[in-house]
Amino acid sequence: MKRQHGFTLIELVVVIIILGILAATALPRFVSIQRDARIAKLNGARGAVNGAAALVHAAFLTRGGVADTITCPAGGGFATNTTNICTENGLVLITLGYPTSANVGTAGIVAAAGLTSVFNPTLAQLNAEGYSTTFAGTTVTFQVTGGPTPATCSFTYTAPTAAGAAPAIGAVNVAGC
């Protein structure tokens, strides 16, 4: 008698049911991992903004308002060290010794933080990296996109408005991540 090789219909159905059960239990964990990744990205961006503000301020204090006599090697012209600072990537605009909260395309805190591989990114370049920003006066709101409500997956940077004050970097809001 010739013996047949292969799976019976019952065996295939059982395997499909088992795979369905495994997928149903794994999906919520996968969604949670995506949320955790967005929160980690948001915390990383906040750390980069905090570090950039501190480094620019340290350069401002070190240079003591004495203008550079040579152009910034990374481009942008001469640093006045009162309204802008020369960094390894180019000039960063400052206000009261800290990066400005100027709009995208203007070398302020967004450029100094280095969230993209481009020094002074456009909004499209920020979006390609999973970030978005909104500007209101002296405040810029950094958002991580991809979550259910990116507006509430964010933190803020507010440039100082008085001499001797430091910028305000808000706590992360993870409600929409």
pLDDT tens digits for range 15-47: 898 888 887 787 776 667 888 999 999 999 999
Q: What is the pLDDT of residue 11?
A: 84
Q: pLDDT tens for residues 122-174? A: 889 999 999 999 999 899 999 999 999 999 999 999 999 999 899 999 999 99
Domain locations along the chain = 57-177
Angle at CA 130, nearest 5°, toward 161 and 86? 45
pLDDT in tens, 85-114: 998 888 999 999 999 998 777 789 999 999
**pTM of the complete model:** 0.81
Alpha helices (H) in the chain, listed in sequence order: 9-63, 109-113, 123-128
Exposure of 46 by Cβ count < 10 A (0-12 exposed, 13-18 middle, 19+ buried)? buried
**Confidence at 1, pLDDT banded by 50, 70, 90:** low
Q: Are the beta carbons of 139 and 158 closer than 8 angstroms?
A: yes
Give the number of other Cβ atoms within 10 Å of residue 156's Cβ: 20
Tokens of residue 105, six digits: 């395309």
| Arithmetic mean of pLDDT, 60-64 | 93
- C-alpha 100/C-alpha 53 separation (Å) is 9
The arrangement of strands across the sheet holding 168-169 comes to: 131-136, 139-144, 154-158, 168-169
Max CA pair span of the chain: 98
